[in-house]
Structure 1
Amino acid sequence: MPRNLDLTALRSFVTVADAGGVTRAAGLLHLTQSAVSMQLKRLEEGLGLSLLDRSARQIALTGEGEQLLSYARRMLALNDEAVGRLTASDYEGEITLGVPHDIVPFYIPKVLKRFAADFPRMRVNFLSSNTRALLGQFDRGEVDMIVTTEEGVSPGGETLAEVPLVWVGAPGGRAWKDRPLPIAFETQCIFRPSVQRRLDAAGIPWTMRVETGSTRTVEATVSADLAIHAMLSGFWVQGTEPVDHGGALPDLKTYCINLYRGPTGLGEVEEALAGYLREAYGALMQAPAQQRPSRSIAAIG
């Protein structure tokens, strides 16, 4: 007789694999750690296979676990699509979401795709700008929900992740050795003032290589090794890489990726979108910086 896989257990298995551990996965699933562990145990016993290698400090997948993970993702995606299309028809309307340029790729497309599958009659008006502009639009009630990059979090906000800034430059570049240090930032970049303060405190003279509001101009300047820039770890664009300065440049601040929600009146729909954003950027905290995807599309600031 054919055996059936438990989708609930599969969802826990996938979340553990993505989060890198049971504790973090339990928080994302809103379950106790013991409940997640029990689901994994039942899944392994049902298949008669070891799916997780628990011998190391951090849980890793066995060969069988890696194979199951691929199937599990497809099964859950199909399940979520079916449930969303069959049960979410009562939700109809629109919600406006704003996200800074530099944290859009790789994470937001997956969030929007999942939201569209679960709420097919809801429309997301998506806009991308810099954090300062988004905060202003949110305060004026022009945006329902925003994600920001800030040094802290204001009242009413929720921190999704904390990510350090790193120096980036052209691959194999030498601009970081020049003095005054040539740097390139958009005029409204939220990182610009704190970077300048860190350089001043370290006694490193600097010069702003370009004055621009264009992300493309900054990217081209850095890629040409005419200046260096600072970006959230793991979010550097194609044509740039972290600068291996060996301590010659000061360490930079850690920034918060925050979520702000206004009174949309959409209830479950708004909470679902917030949850998808929470999971997307929460998973970022678990991934080593070198494993985070860099962006191939310019979106600095």
Structure 2
Amino acid sequence: MHPLDSDQLRTLVAIAETGSFTRAAEAVNKTQSAVSMQMKRLEERIGREIFCKAGRGVRLTDDGERLLDYARRIVRLQAECLSTFAEADLAGRVRLGLPDDYADRYLPEILGRFARAHPRAEVTVVCEPTDMLADRIADGDIDLAIVTEAKGPTQEQRRRQIETIRTEALLWVTSSRHAVHGESPVPLALGRPACNWRRAAIEALERGGRRSRILFVSWNSTAVGAAVLAGLAVSVLPESALRSGMRVLGPQDGFAALPACRIGLMRHHAEEPNPLADILAGQIRQCLGNLGLAAE
């Protein structure tokens, strides 16, 4: 199997983004006939038709749409790879925000890669809940933020700025050595009232007709985990945050399934470009996208 030609894939992306062969030819600095020849060779390479007629123009076939998804990822990854080596001597500062539970799980890998590639760069890390990080992004206090996505009319405008980079199961957890989950009302260890996971947990219990009481409140995941491991309360955590000594609860235990946990990336769009922020964003996408779950 011969590898795909990245130049042909870049042209395919340009056609999809500009909507025509003519404008794509201008974008990739080629003649229209050269663009047409590239697409013909790409079709021959994969053995499928990429385009079909649509009135006076053309549109992508289903196979073309599938290929476009791969093309975008390959082109983006190639650009990130080249920029990492081309800009290895970049100096400056980039500011990253994330909740403390994400910091425990993701920061070692993210910072390790970034520091090795850009030893002259300074990274400032802020650990706060998602709502506070969204405000910091809007005010320009930080460049990037790893956040928990949530639906809601008051957050819809912010959600439009969030790029989903990871989805995990949100799970009920209790101590594997205690039976606190059988108590009524169920004692809970959760985040502050604005926490999306807290709202999801309480709503799920109410729908199931189970009584509960908030026993511990903290935005610090270590404190919440300590209450769980001590057998004092039940909580909710993403799958990758499970720790030794925790047991997952399900419908058979009287705990209904919870909505998925979507982790997103927010960017502050400053007037001046920040190459370090661009590179760190790419490494965050790669690290979280490749991170395996305990159940896999």
TM-score bracket for the superposition, by shorter chain length: 0.5 to 0.7
SS in 1 for 2:135: helix
1:225 to 215, 224, 231: 231
Q: Sort the Cα spacing of 1:122 and 1:288 in 2 relative to 1 into closer, same or farther, 3 A.
A: closer
SS in 2 for 1:203: coil
2:190 to 171, 185, 201: 185
Q: Sort the Cα spacing of 1:27 and 1:227 in 2 relative to 1 into closer, same or farther, 3 A.
A: farther
Offset of residue 194 of structure 1: 1.5
TM-score by length of 1: 0.63
Offset of residue 277 of structure 1: 0.7
TM-score by length of 2: 0.64
What is the match of residue 265 of structure 2?
259
Residues in 1 aligned to 2:71 and 2:284: alpha-carbon distance in whole angstroms: 14
- Pairing of 1:129-144 with structure 2 (within 5 A): 129-144=128-143
Residues in 2 aligned to 1:109 and 1:98: alpha-carbon distance in whole angstroms: 14
What is the match of residue 36 of structure 1?
none
1:276 to 272, 279, 283: 283
The answer to whether the 8 Å contact 1:28/1:279 transfers is no
Q: Deviations over 1:25-84 (max 9, x none)?
A: 96796169xxxxxxxxxxxxxxxxxxxxxxxxxxxxxxxxxxxxxxxxxxxxxx99xx85
- Pairing of 1:123-162 with structure 2 (within 5 A): 123-152=122-151, 154-162=159-167
SS in 2 for 1:30: helix
Which 5+ residue runs of structure 2 have no aligned equivalent?
A: 1-66, 152-157
Q: Deviations over 1:83-114 (max 9, x none)?
A: 85x8522x221010001122223422111111
Residues in 1 aligned to 2:231 and 2:197: alpha-carbon distance in whole angstroms: 20
What is the match of residue 88 of structure 1?
88
Residues in 1 aligned to 2:136 and 2:249: alpha-carbon distance in whole angstroms: 35
- Pairing of 1:23-102 with structure 2 (within 5 A): 30=74, 84=85, 88-89=88-89, 91-102=90-101
The answer to whether the 8 Å contact 2:143/2:268 transfers is yes
What is the match of residue 105 of structure 1?
104
Offset of residue 204 of structure 1: 0.8
The answer to whether the 8 Å contact 2:175/2:228 transfers is yes
What is the match of residue 204 of structure 1?
210
Counterpart code for 2:278: E
Offset of residue 123 of structure 1: 0.8
Q: Sort the Cα spacing of 1:228 and 1:272 in 2 relative to 1 into closer, same or farther, 3 A.
A: same
Q: Deviations over 1:251-290 (max 9, x none)?
A: 1011210001112434433222111111111123xx3542
1:166 to 143, 167, 171: 171
Residues in 1 aligned to 2:210 and 2:220: alpha-carbon distance in whole angstroms: 26
RMSD: 2.9
The answer to whether the 8 Å contact 1:183/1:229 transfers is yes
Q: How many residues align?
A: 216
Between structure 1 and structure 2, the one with the greater Rg is: 2
Offset of residue 196 of structure 1: 0.6
Residues in 2 aligned to 1:101 and 1:117: alpha-carbon distance in whole angstroms: 23
Which 5+ residue runs of structure 1 have no aligned equivalent?
A: 1-22, 33-78, 292-301
Q: Deviations over 1:126-184 (max 9, x none)?
A: 12121122112222221111010123571122000111210111113211111111111
Q: Sort the Cα spacing of 1:95 and 1:214 in 2 relative to 1 into closer, same or farther, 3 A.
A: closer
What is the match of residue 45 of structure 1?
none
Q: Deviations over 1:172-229 (max 9, x none)?
A: 3211111111111132533111211111111111111124455444222211111110
Higher helix proportion:
2
Q: Sort the Cα spacing of 1:214 and 1:267 in 2 relative to 1 into closer, same or farther, 3 A.
A: closer
The answer to whether the 8 Å contact 1:131/1:190 transfers is no
Residues in 2 aligned to 1:245 and 1:201: alpha-carbon distance in whole angstroms: 13
Q: Sort the Cα spacing of 1:282 and 1:87 in 2 relative to 1 into closer, same or farther, 3 A.
A: closer
SS in 1 for 2:159: coil
Offset of residue 238 of structure 1: 4.4
Counterpart code for 1:139: A
The answer to whether the 8 Å contact 1:185/1:210 transfers is yes
SS in 2 for 1:126: strand
Q: Sort the Cα spacing of 1:267 and 1:120 in 2 relative to 1 into closer, same or farther, 3 A.
A: same
